Amino acid sequence: MGVLQNILAVIVVLGLLITIHEFGHFWVARRCGVRVLRFSVGFGRPLLKRVDRHGTEFVLAAIPLGGYVRMLDEREGAVDPADQHLAFNRQSVWKRIAVVSAGPVANFLLALMAYWLMFMVGTTTVTPMVGSVSPDSPAARGGLEAGQEIVRVEGERTRSWDEVNLALIGAIGSDRLQFATRREGRELQQHSLAVTNYLAHQDPPQPLATLGFEPWRPDTPPVIGQVLDDGAAAAAGLRAGDRVISVNGAAIEAWSGFVARVQAAAGQSLQLRIRRDGRELAVDLTPRSRQLADGRSVGYIGAAADPVQWPQQYQRELRYGPLAAAGQAIHRTASMTSLTVGSIYKMVIGLISPSNLSGPITIARIAGESARSGLETFIGFLAYVSISLGVLNLLPIPILDGGHLLFYAVEAIRGRPLSERAQAVGFRIGAALVATLMIMAFYFDLMRL
């Protein structure tokens, strides 16, 4: 069921994003007087086809990994002299720039609308309260203490752990981080945390653990809430609802204590006592090994805790009226765009590992997880992927929209286009770069499995 939900979720996400992107090209092309021959969502064999009164063929194709808008163009075939004024290549450079840039712009507008809807409907978040702080860590040396609420990171207002993490991810490579915290009834406190090349080369990044602190969480009883089908917990016969009483004879009072025992016992047999339906049972469990970014190997069993209710004072609902929600949506879209551009730059200069690239498999998994987490999470994920698609398409790589815009910018400055030979060489280089990135993304997707 999970795999099917992932597939359906990614079809919805990619289908919507591709349609919106290509519709941007289509809509502006029509208004610039360009004849559109085909509007295709997907590649390969057409599954559905319809022709409108303008002669445009609308196609839904079998491979949902892209799409295209084919316009009348003398470079792609003979054009009747009577229709030459409708050809894309005959339009002014400014009209061609408008048509090409319309696709990415449509993706940014979709993200803006998604965030506006999310802020209008309202989101429930957890107050970013500091839990435990490791001694002699950057957090401890910077003055962070348990019970403080993080209200700003690097000057950005933080009302949830999502916003804290986003601000920290944006600071990759920094040598000093600025925090602002407060306690109820006390003045704002400023903190400066000294770090060295923060999060550089980590895969995956661990923003909080690297600084040496954890979020505050309510006490979680050692009750299993979810068991993965292919994990060590399932192999040992553990089920959702089981309460862990002891491990190797040592009493377990909280989920964190159980996790600590499991992580310290990679590949070692553990003797559990559990309570199931009022009866105590003995279970032999052997955690599997997983390597963390810092090279340490820890045990894991493929099980999650039974969710607990957060105290009301630590929950926060973010809901805005139409105008205020629009302002929040603009700010969030701008922040995510800046984060995406910055991440690409840091990947190019080597601060972020290329293994963070994600392809369709990872997108499908996260799309499914976000859909299961609720509508607001799914909308937020949709907006983020839409921004990523817009940014990627604007990269100055020939074959992408940004590459076309680069050629048109040169044409606008020179007063004449680049030679067809120069453009052809550029497109070959661009195609090789894009193919390499796609192969890398698929490879890292498979490694994550």
Rounded distance between C-alpha atoms, residue 11 and residue 358, angstroms: 16
Least confident interval from 45-49, 317-321, 334-338, 353-357: 353-357
pLDDT at 317 (0 to 100): 84
CA distances from 134 to 141, 166, 214 (A): 10, 22, 9
* 277 vs 366, more confident: 277
Q: For the residues 154-182, what does the mean pLDDT come to?
A: 91
pLDDT at 43 (0 to 100): 86
The answer to whether the beta carbons of residues 305 and 224 sit under 8 Å apart is yes
pLDDT above 70: residue 367: no
Q: Do 224-306 and 124-218+309-318 fall under one CATH topology?
A: yes
Rounded distance between C-alpha atoms, residue 129 and residue 182, angstroms: 10
Q: For the residues 135-142, what does the mean pLDDT come to?
A: 93
Q: Which residues are catalytic?
A: 22
Q: Which residues contact 19 (CB under 8 A, 6 or more apart)?
A: 41, 67
Taking only the tens place, the pLDDT of each residue in 240-252 is 999 999 999 999 9
The residue extents of the domains of the chain are: 1-10+99-122+322-449, 124-218+309-318, 224-306
The CATH code of domain 124-218+309-318 reads 2.30.42.10
Average confidence score pLDDT of the chain? 88
The tokens of 446 are what?
Answer: 């498979």
Q: Is the N-terminal amide bond of 396 cis, ω within 30° of 0?
A: no
Give domain 224-306's CATH number out of 2.30.30.790, 3.40.50.300, 3.30.530.20, 2.30.42.10: 2.30.42.10
Backbone angles phi, psi at 29, to 5 degrees: -60, -45
* 29 vs 290, more confident: 29
Question: One-letter amino acid identity for 31?
Answer: R
pLDDT above 50: residue 319: yes
The tokens of 422 are what?
Answer: 């120069």
pLDDT above 90: residue 360: no
pLDDT at 219 (0 to 100): 82
Rounded distance between C-alpha atoms, residue 179 and residue 193, angstroms: 8
pLDDT above 60: residue 293: no
Going through 3-84 in order, the beta strands assigned E by DSSP cover 36-51, 57-71
Any alpha helices (H) in 218-295, and if so which ranges? 232-235, 255-263
Q: For the residues 70-92, what does the mean pLDDT come to?
A: 91
pLDDT at 295 (0 to 100): 63
Q: For the residues 235-241, what does the mean pLDDT come to?
A: 92
The answer to whether the beta carbons of residues 396 and 135 sit under 8 Å apart is no
Q: For the residues 320-345, what does the mean pLDDT come to?
A: 92
pLDDT above 60: residue 1: no
For residue 310, name the pLDDT band (cuts at 50, 70, 90): confident
Three-class SS state of 383: helix
pLDDT above 90: residue 358: no
- Cα 205-210-215 angle, rounded to 5 deg: 95
In this prediction the pTM is: 0.80
Q: For the residues 373-395, what does the mean pLDDT come to?
A: 87
Q: For the residues 364-372, what does the mean pLDDT come to?
A: 68
pLDDT at 44 (0 to 100): 86
Backbone angles phi, psi at 342, to 5 degrees: -65, -40
The answer to whether the beta carbons of residues 249 and 336 sit under 8 Å apart is no
Rounded to whole angstroms, the maximal C-alpha distance in the chain is: 88
Taking only the tens place, the pLDDT of each residue in 263-287 is 999 999 999 999 999 999 999 999 9
Taking only the tens place, the pLDDT of each residue in 390-410 is 999 999 998 899 999 999 999
What percent of the chain is modeled with pLDDT above 70?
Answer: 96
